Structure 1
């Protein structure tokens, strides 16, 4: 269970009667104007009640409910901080803008003098007033400035499902955020069945577009974040889309058999790759958009990039709305829901055989009250209309008032930064985007020294060197993850695309460094005592044929044009994934003369053939090339079909220089 509004009741004090009022009073906002009431004295209990009424209901950075009791908990506001006192209006600031406003008002009252405001250094028109930034809690401040904080307890998939069930939107869209650093390890298995998501559309052109569950339709999109870690150029990442679809299909299992998987987005917030297109999709869909993913996959950073800002009073045209959810949201805003719209007809016809209950004609009201798209209201009126009643038993907190440029969630590498769902409305209630807390991921950082925990997160693209793992050698990652070949006769090429340093050494020295039984100059970032927890994470075979990709001009159509079947060797590869840290690309070459038991299975289209885990051929004694990985508790490791990311580095073109000038020394002798 994550830090939901339901847990606020636990924080109430038993001995103080006023302390129980502190938590309640901040949740139920007064509809009257509280700015005219002078603040109570700092030493009185009424001051805390007054301050909680002025503070936001939840921290905009982490989503935790506001409180002033637990200093170590999320959502705590220290009323002695200058930024909070300034937000409450207890400290006055003599800014240049205030001086200009005073001069401008004085000149307007003395209009008969015909004085020019610019002569006094004051512009004719006042500066535009932007939305006031909402102050963040002390935990968010420490995370941003000092990278210090206590992670919250991670929610379960059942808590996420119960939270989504509390929404009143009819059309919902799930954005399944996946990390590119260890793709597809961060895919949540069985997410569709848990959340009653509409089945993935098949390749059949007559496939239905959606399915209702409990008078609600929920669709899904897969968003691969931090795609700049895969390749240096956007065009190179775009060329990987067939590979990403194929790998994601393998990770989803039988639920993705025959599916189109056209709902995959590969974005990079750092490089601004495809974020604008995804933002327009969020705007056109409307309804409720839910950001779901595991820890440290980039949900909050992506949230701030794709949220439609500055569109509070945008005019919505029916012709520009391409999705049923957007059109339904527009009809919901105007209050004129037509029972005979084409969208409703399509969905009812497609789902008439599958849905037992009839879809109601009335679309449920959105959490915020309806605001017409063609009128402008005062901020105070909009705030009053947007305030919801706080329900202490609800997992979904109330939506805050809509702002053109709201405060975005904070971005931190601390696992469990988001404490509670963060809801932000856009487009006058056209829809909202919800950032949910991350699901639990591997706890590899619990085995690493605190000063090196930040290095476990892959933040920038790595250009590795080529390591040749010869027989009797092993590859160390961070000094505590060991990759050892299982075949004693084959040399394996390794390319470590990881955020932690790699080191090639003999197997005996690698075991001594990993188990802390040998003094070594190799840095071991593991905590003392981790050596006793080292176990085998499994044996992974190099079972994918990459001969055509690695041979270059030998098999190219415009060069050698040699068939792969005629080559005297085969090149096989696999990618070893380290959770959150990156991957290691392993490549080996097998001779046709000595590897008949390996070449024969590869000749049967090894891209689709699943090689069994038979490490040794009983007849010939040949061992299939593979590696064995040793990690703490034997976890945090997986394998996938090779991405061949090294090809983007090896194909770098050198600098093209102009042809040098001919020497003119002998030209003068002619």
Structure 2
């Protein structure tokens, strides 16, 4: 069968089904994952200044920046002051008169936050949606002083793998139009999110005149499309700048080729522009910024083990005094600082945990001790680079959630104030890897002593009333000068209020963390990962109430009958 123009249909299918050519690196990532030789080539990550210059070359009037943040180590993948570094992008404040956006240099640029890979936080969508108030509070603290002023109504928590809230973001991309820029650090899920929120199959067709024959319509459409393609190609060639940072746009398609998704840091080496909606807008995937150099201290064959690829169901580890936990065979060490206290730790990282004596843990991390059952993934001869990353205190009270049926409304329903104990917790973040939840229980009196010593009032010096200076009767303006409010001697000296000045208190339960160069470690208020991701207990695993022993029951009943008859 021949199509119009005399070309066989098979040739047309071959032309349409032909895929775009890819480089050797992308070919190896598609077919050989990260084990190819080209995947080991070091990629140079861009800077924020280069991304700003790239966004400034946008040909669109309306631009929207999607700041992509990873949920694995949230909020360590947040780029501080990104709205200022990218050209003073306005964030809507809490003031009711604040505008949603404004034009600068005949261009409108907005920004929103997207927390990706939310399926790592919980097993169901409802559980993750309930974490949104917590995620916003942590994001406010990470933003610093700006976080207290902005509204944060532009925060989304999505999962491209499970399809959570991706449809809503896709509709937002379609309704906004213009240019959508994916900005974030490496391995935060930008390319996978790009494929999930790209509006596919929405190429709008131009209306045709009525009364024309089919052949005339086809001829007119083919001629018009050829002319438009020629004009567009000429315009593109005329306007293309070979030295520009933004590549030329791709031809519009209903289902274009998406960016390659890989766990290799820096998979997207240059900006990828894919238009949608027949000129309505385009979505642009930018290269990721540098995230963490922790992989430089890990053996090459174990670097992929630093990436959390699926939700982790941890085990509860009881760390007693004199013990420590080692991650990755010695890459990270967590040692309790408070003596005579038991800590519960939950490892939400893909690294293997090992509980051992503190002296042995120090030797494992310094690489002066080896064990057949414990593999150290860190590079050899870096034991002297392990430094103290900081002392992290368990300052967050999680008694209400951790007390179980004692405070649950449908159970006993006690108030937290009536309990004789308190449960404190903190999350230790490892940049680009995950987090470790740490929990400890203290007495209520112990916590009250800590708060009392922390909130002890500082010494206050009372202001003395200034002495009256002798008045100069020769000056005619002396009376007017003394009648001023700030110079009146009759005003009483106001005693300053007592301010509670917090000071360092060593009584807080705390842990010491050691890492390469003392870096790549942070903390946040706990997300209660164990309560949301602990192993599900089935009906078979639940132990039924033990039955009463029937041994000697008949003899006892016979004896009771005899005593009753004798009476």
TM-score by length of 2: 0.78
Residues 397, 377 of structure 1: alpha-carbon distance in 2 compared, 3 angstrom cutoff: farther
1:134 maps to 20
Q: Using the alignment, how far apart are the partners of 2:415 and 2:107 within structure 1? A: 54
1:194 maps to 85
User: Cα offset for 1:202?
Assistant: 2.8
Aligned to 1:307, which of 186, 198, 204? 198
1:292 maps to 183
1:625 maps to 509
User: Cα offset for 1:273?
Assistant: 1.1
Secondary structure in 2 matching 1:283: helix
For residues 328-477 of structure 1, the aligned pairs below 5 Å read: 380-381=226-227, 383-387=229-233, 388-389=236-237, 390-477=240-327
Q: Does 1:497 align with 2:348?
A: yes
For residues 465-544 of structure 1, the aligned pairs below 5 Å read: 465-479=315-329, 480-520=331-371, 521-544=373-396
The range that moved more, 394-403 or 435-444, is: 394-403
For residues 244-323 of structure 1, the aligned pairs below 5 Å read: 244-313=135-204
Secondary structure in 2 matching 1:553: helix
Q: Using the alignment, how far apart are the partners of 2:227 and 2:24 within structure 1? A: 30
Q: Is the contact made by 1:464 and 1:497 (CA closer than 8 Å) also made in structure 2?
A: yes
Residues 184, 558 of structure 1: alpha-carbon distance in 2 compared, 3 angstrom cutoff: same
Residues 471, 236 of structure 1: alpha-carbon distance in 2 compared, 3 angstrom cutoff: same
2:518 maps to 634
Q: Using the alignment, how far apart are the partners of 2:189 and 2:96 within structure 1? A: 34
Unaligned runs of 5+ in 1: 1-100, 110-121, 317-374, 605-609, 617-622, 661-670
Residues 638, 386 of structure 1: alpha-carbon distance in 2 compared, 3 angstrom cutoff: farther
Q: Using the alignment, how far apart are the partners of 1:611 and 1:524 within structure 2? A: 45
Residues 386, 221 of structure 1: alpha-carbon distance in 2 compared, 3 angstrom cutoff: farther
Q: Using the alignment, how far apart are the partners of 1:130 and 1:558 within structure 2? A: 63
Q: Does 1:574 align with 2:465?
A: no
Q: Using the alignment, how far apart are the partners of 2:383 and 2:224 within structure 1? A: 64
Q: Using the alignment, how far apart are the partners of 1:655 and 1:557 within structure 2? A: 24
User: Cα offset for 1:213?
Assistant: 2.3
Secondary structure in 2 matching 1:453: helix
Q: Is the contact made by 2:454 and 2:503 (CA closer than 8 Å) also made in structure 1?
A: no
Q: Using the alignment, how far apart are the partners of 1:385 and 1:486 within structure 2? A: 72
User: Cα offset for 1:555?
Assistant: 1.7
Secondary structure in 1 matching 2:248: coil
User: Cα offset for 1:258?
Assistant: 3.2
Q: Is the contact made by 1:543 and 1:611 (CA closer than 8 Å) also made in structure 2?
A: no
Q: Using the alignment, how far apart are the partners of 2:228 and 2:203 within structure 1? A: 11
The range that moved more, 132-141 or 594-603, is: 594-603
Q: Is the contact made by 2:299 and 2:378 (CA closer than 8 Å) also made in structure 1?
A: yes
1:598 maps to 450
Q: Does 1:145 align with 2:31?
A: yes
Aligned to 1:242, which of 133, 136, 151? 133
User: Cα offset for 1:127?
Assistant: 8.0
User: Cα offset for 1:557?
Assistant: 2.8
1:214 maps to 105
Larger radius of gyration: 2
1:180 maps to 71
Q: Is the contact made by 2:291 and 2:432 (CA closer than 8 Å) also made in structure 1?
A: no
Q: Is the contact made by 2:312 and 2:533 (CA closer than 8 Å) also made in structure 1?
A: no
Secondary structure in 1 matching 2:101: coil
User: Cα offset for 1:611?
Assistant: 11
User: Cα offset for 1:477?
Assistant: 0.8
Q: Is the contact made by 1:226 and 1:270 (CA closer than 8 Å) also made in structure 2?
A: yes
Q: Is the contact made by 1:309 and 1:405 (CA closer than 8 Å) also made in structure 2?
A: yes
Q: Using the alignment, how far apart are the partners of 1:376 and 1:191 within structure 2? A: 46
1:589 maps to 441
Q: Using the alignment, how far apart are the partners of 1:600 and 1:290 within structure 2? A: 50
Q: Using the alignment, how far apart are the partners of 2:165 and 2:501 within structure 1? A: 36
Unaligned runs of 5+ in 2: 208-220, 457-499, 545-567
Q: Using the alignment, how far apart are the partners of 2:396 and 2:89 within structure 1? A: 33
Secondary structure in 1 matching 2:136: helix
Secondary structure in 1 matching 2:115: strand
- Report the RMSD for the aligned CA atoms in angstroms: 3.1
Q: Is the contact made by 2:314 and 2:534 (CA closer than 8 Å) also made in structure 1?
A: no
Q: Using the alignment, how far apart are the partners of 2:450 and 2:206 within structure 1? A: 64
Residues 650, 413 of structure 1: alpha-carbon distance in 2 compared, 3 angstrom cutoff: closer
Q: Is the contact made by 2:450 and 2:505 (CA closer than 8 Å) also made in structure 1?
A: no
Q: Using the alignment, how far apart are the partners of 1:437 and 1:133 within structure 2? A: 23
User: Cα offset for 1:277?
Assistant: 1.3
TM-score by length of 1: 0.66
User: Cα offset for 1:221?
Assistant: 1.0
Residues 601, 564 of structure 1: alpha-carbon distance in 2 compared, 3 angstrom cutoff: farther
Q: Using the alignment, how far apart are the partners of 1:400 and 1:442 within structure 2? A: 32
Q: Is the contact made by 2:422 and 2:447 (CA closer than 8 Å) also made in structure 1?
A: no
User: Cα offset for 1:653?
Assistant: 5.5
Aligned to 2:60, which of 155, 158, 169? 169
- Number of residue equivalences: 474
